[in-house]
Structure 1
Amino acid sequence: MKSNGNTVISLEEVLKAIAPDGLDGKLPPVHLWNPERCADIQMEIRADGSWWHEGDRIKRERLVKLFSRILRKDDDGQIYLVTPYEKVIVHVEDAPFLAIRVDRVGETGPDQVLVFKTNLGDVTMAGPDAPLRIETDPVTLEPSPYILVRDRLEAKLSRAVFYELADMAVAHEGASGMLGVWSKGQFFELGPAS
């Protein structure tokens, strides 16, 4: 593989740089990598969480998981696949991850913790450092719920997960007429009670 036309980089070097501990180890330090080379190779993440390259679906789950570990959202709002050698634009239709599961840990109330799992195995706990947010379409009034997974990268909650949260929702005296859920001492509004 050539990174800049002059340097030849082996696949092993790239894999060692971006996944030194394997696919289940700690995440690579993409925030430290600032390669000069940037390319658009028609990489896309669709709203259903599927990954595509040049119009073809990427079906190898391990490859998608590897790619998901080197995602970064920069200050320009663009999402990239980043290696020490180059970064590649990723066109994201909605969110880079899909939250497919939620579990409630602890007694119902402010001290409970909501734990979310994504379609690619990431786990995040809602709280001050990983907020839940709801965007409402101004025309259809349909809610779109998201949770922060890591470093400005969010997961959209699947419909089933959002329904589970709605079942957990309670009223909060500080949020008049709003229902929401608690996690790690923080109340997250889901929507109006009526």
Structure 2
Amino acid sequence: MPYVPPPELAALSLADLAEQVAARKLPPLDQWAPQETGDSEMRIAADGRWYHQGGEIRRPAMVRAFSSLLTRDDAGQHWLVTPFQKLSIAVEDAAFIATDMQVKVDDAGGSAIAFRLNTDDLVVCGPKHALRVGGSAEVPAYYLCVRHGVEARLNRSTYGQLIDYALSRDPVELVVESQGLRIALVPAL
């Protein structure tokens, strides 16, 4: 069966988003404890492109499959994990790129910020998927926790959308809220 990407974020309600996220079947990485370790000879560039032995992986379905096996340990090392092997993978910045965002409001009036990643994964920012601010005041960088310690960096247009949303709420204080999580968008000095 061919892969069918999820609909555009703008077309999805918060309930639709929850359905789409639940429908994405991910491997149980936290239940696997492979004994064999090695090097995958793979690299994820800062722009989100994947490489194996220097050549770009151009098949989106393959990148999507590999991305479902990603984890990051406490030391910051990224790994591709299967039940039998744990292979290191070089990541220049973040493993994913957030390419779009939308603010959704639920029936109770609560808001949630939803992101689409370069792998077509959908992530709703909140306590389990926090947004953190890195970089400096001159060059901020915004990262979204995706799963297993792996993050997505918001691309320029997506963090522009986020800043515009924050400014529409309060032109002085750059703060957003998503699923009860309050996030200041100014890097710590």
**Would you call these one fold, judging by a TM-score over 0.5?**
yes
* Deviation by residue 1:19-58 (Cα, 9 ceiling, x = unmatched): xxxxx74100111111111111321000110000111101
CA–CA distance in structure 2, aligned partners of residues 118 and 25 of structure 1 = 13
> Residue 93 of structure 1 aligns with which residue?
92
Matched, 1:145 2:173: no
Change (3 A) 1:157 1:25: closer
> Residue 175 of structure 2 aligns with which residue?
180
Matched, 1:168 2:165: yes
By relative contact order (CA 8 Å, sep 6+), the higher-ranking structure is 2
CA–CA distance in structure 1, aligned partners of residues 40 and 24 of structure 2 = 27
Could you tell me which amino acid in structure 2 is paired with residue 40 of structure 1?
Answer: D
CA–CA distance in structure 2, aligned partners of residues 143 and 126 of structure 1 = 18
SS at match of 1:34: coil
What TM-score, normalized to structure 1? Answer: 0.77
> Residue 84 of structure 1 aligns with which residue?
83
Matched, 1:159 2:126: no
SS at match of 1:128: coil
Could you tell me which amino acid in structure 2 is paired with residue 145 of structure 1?
Answer: Y
CA–CA distance in structure 2, aligned partners of residues 151 and 171 of structure 1 = 33
Could you tell me which amino acid in structure 2 is paired with residue 53 of structure 1?
Answer: H
CA–CA distance in structure 2, aligned partners of residues 53 and 100 of structure 1 = 23
SS at match of 2:158: helix
Larger radius of gyration: 1
> Residue 71 of structure 1 aligns with which residue?
70
SS at match of 1:148: strand
CA–CA distance in structure 1, aligned partners of residues 24 and 181 of structure 2 = 29
> Residue 127 of structure 1 aligns with which residue?
126
Q: Is the 8 A contact 1:81 1:89 kept in 2?
A: yes
SS at match of 2:174: strand
Q: Is the 8 A contact 1:31 1:72 kept in 2?
A: no
> Residue 10 of structure 2 aligns with which residue?
none
> Which runs of no fewer than 5 residues in structure 1 stay unpaired?
1-23
Q: Is the 8 A contact 1:111 1:182 kept in 2?
A: no
Matched, 1:27 2:26: yes
> Residue 7 of structure 1 aligns with which residue?
none
> Which runs of no fewer than 5 residues in structure 2 stay unpaired?
1-22
Could you tell me which amino acid in structure 2 is paired with residue 167 of structure 1?
Answer: D
Bigger helix share:
2
Q: Is the 8 A contact 1:122 1:149 kept in 2?
A: no
Could you tell me which amino acid in structure 2 is paired with residue 179 of structure 1?
Answer: L
CA–CA distance in structure 1, aligned partners of residues 186 and 29 of structure 2 = 35
